[in-house]
A and B are shown apart, each in its own frame.
Chain A
């Protein structure tokens, strides 16, 4: 079992709809969670981080964390074609504070 798991996709969502990206992790002690966006041929860029259970909203983006179930999700409201990218979930491993990456989910927003 991978430490951080994501569905590789592609996830196809119509423009204007809500895109829902999910990530599960195995280290129950993990406390810090990140979502990075990576456009094709570009470097990853941080879009959200969350440390506490519940929801955290930033513009069209909402990160949701459920530590009991060990999953973190990213919702993108009013999806735009410019949101088409690969979304990487990253989790801080509690034992050595290292950042562990998921393989990423490719999101395609169809006009």
Chain B
């Protein structure tokens, strides 16, 4: 079963705008990861944030983690048409090595 819920399920923005998506989860985690998936392709690992971290940056990506609310957000700044993809959060529980994926957010960046 899915642990994570993501919202929105779909997002349509203009190139240059920022895109924000959220992920909520239910159990204690070791870390939370964000992945991108282009249509019909494999997953690309974007960023990992550990449970003791609150914010992380990587290029145009900014991820926050609030363990008290069991939620995370992914912000893509200055979006480009090439950012069009589905974005998934995945949590690694405090014990074990299985990832549990959220439902995903489909992002469309219009040129």
- A and B form one complex: no
Interface residues of A (CB under 8 A from B): none
Interface residues of B (CB under 8 A from A): none
